[in-house]
Amino acid sequence: MPEEEIEPIRWEDDRLLLLDQTILPDRQEWLTIDTVEAAIEAIREMRVRGAPAIGVAAAYAMVIAARSVEAPTMSTWLTLLDPISARIAAARPTAVNLGWAVQRSVEVARSASSPSEAHKRLLALAHKTKADDIATNRKIGRNGASLVPSNGGILTHCNTGALATAGYGTALGVIRAAWEQGKRPHVFCTETRPWLQGARLTAWELMRMGIPAELVVDSAAAWLMSRHEVNAIIVGADRIAANGDTANKIGTYSLAVLAKSHNIPFYVAAPTSTIDVGVANGDEIVIEERPPEEVTTLKGQRIAAEGIGVRNPSFDVTPAEYITAIITDQGVHKAPFERALRSAVHQTKAGIV
């Protein structure tokens, strides 16, 4: 890869550093996060975004939370930590990795005998969450690369690259892995209105990696499919229910329906930590609604007529029946998904690769 690897989340001098994704690709600026409030704000305002990246940032936010609490006894300390953990977990509702990372941190804190030991263990856990995420993404890439067409078109939505994770990426990581194996697919990335994760972030990552690609407006997808220019679609996930229903960036569901009607395979790539076996199906997934200004303005400039109402759901749910396969670090899972997904989660928990 010609450019340095993107590593959007760092821990340096006991502080969390986040590459501010709200201003990429115009400017590359690092935010220094040393309070819980700043960490919550960074997640809520999408300075760090993408389900796995949010999980890693939350693990470090728990380290910051741990050192912000002072109490005479361990049990009081844990009691004071609880509401802070809950606030971090509530910063955004849809990505399961956020609650997953906070819950793991809470369990680690509870297993310690003193606040200082808990602090050390939480930092070790955060570092491990980050390192595991990169290793997991490389496995997803290896598992999914064979599904990428050698010469045909592949379309991806939103940003699922290094920026959306601790590094390497999930769906974009699959494209990258295929590219590293010598495949030369024609890559399309969608703009991803309204936040433009595709135009700003995926396009930036692709150009840094030296992978030629074309940016398309979201509504161009059907036309390209009808012209046989797209041979596969690959997206990430924010939460996968036990039956395979998948919450991902708004617009994913439309792409899946279009893929089915054009007989194009539709793949979801995600780590097993994104599978929520506690949720039976997509109806139980909370969909984040974001501020209207994301739709009515562009770079601070109003583009919509004054007075118009706005609906801004940030995610949608693609029913499992539209998904050809779910690619995880444990393999490529096909329908019926439930058994395969439960087993993948179990294998990861048991440390089986």
Per CB under 6 A, residues contacting ligand MRU are 46, 49-52, 95, 158, 160, 164-165, 170, 197, 236-238, 248-249, 314
Is 160 or 318 the residue whose CB approaches ligand MRU more closely?
Answer: 160
Question: What CA dihedral angle connects 221, 313, 38 and 131, to 10 degrees?
Answer: -50
Half-sphere exposure of 181 (CA within 13 A, CB side): 20
User: To the nearest whole angstrom, how small is the minimum distance from the Cβ of residue 207 to ligand MRU?
Assistant: 19
CA distance linking residue 52 with residue 132, whole number of Å: 11
User: To the nearest whole angstrom, how small is the minimum distance from the Cβ of residue 160 to ligand MRU?
Assistant: 4
Is 118 or 233 the residue whose CB approaches ligand MRU more closely?
Answer: 233
- Backbone phi, psi, residue 161, to 5°: -90, -160
List, edge to edge, every strand of the sheet that includes 30-33.
9-12, 15-19, 30-33
Q: Please identify the residue of the shown chain whose CB is closest to the bound ligand MRU.
A: 236
Is 109 or 209 the residue whose CB approaches ligand MRU more closely?
Answer: 209
Is 160 or 328 the residue whose CB approaches ligand MRU more closely?
Answer: 160
Contacts 24+ apart (CB under 8 A), 63-69: 63/16, 63/119, 63/122, 63/123, 63/126, 64/16, 64/33, 64/34, 64/35, 64/36, 64/39, 65/36, 66/109, 66/115, 66/118, 66/119, 66/122, 67/119, 68/35, 68/36, 69/115
CA dihedral sign, ordered 317, 219, 50, 41: negative
CA distance linking residue 257 with residue 280, whole number of Å: 22
Is 170 or 324 the residue whose CB approaches ligand MRU more closely?
Answer: 170
> Which among 9, 98, 92, 7 has a CA at the least distance from the CA of 45?
92
Is 160 or 231 the residue whose CB approaches ligand MRU more closely?
Answer: 160
> Which among 223, 231, 252 has a CA at the least distance from the CA of 320?
252
User: To the nearest whole angstrom, how small is the minimum distance from the Cβ of residue 287 to ligand MRU?
Assistant: 11
User: Which tokens go with 236?
Assistant: 């990430």
List, edge to edge, every strand of the sheet that includes 315-318.
275-276, 239-241, 246-249, 315-318
Half-sphere exposure of 144 (CA within 13 A, CB side): 38
User: To the nearest whole angstrom, how small is the minimum distance from the Cβ of residue 51 to ligand MRU?
Assistant: 4
CA distances from 168 to 132, 137, 187, 188, 325 (A): 12, 6, 17, 18, 21
Whether 238 sits among the annotated catalytic residues: the reply is yes
User: To the nearest whole angstrom, how small is the minimum distance from the Cβ of residue 256 to ligand MRU?
Assistant: 13
Catalytic residue among 14, 20, 238, 276: 238
Is 237 or 320 the residue whose CB approaches ligand MRU more closely?
Answer: 237
User: To the nearest whole angstrom, how small is the minimum distance from the Cβ of residue 236 to ligand MRU?
Assistant: 3
User: To the nearest whole angstrom, how small is the minimum distance from the Cβ of residue 130 to ligand MRU?
Assistant: 14
Which residues carry out catalysis? 238
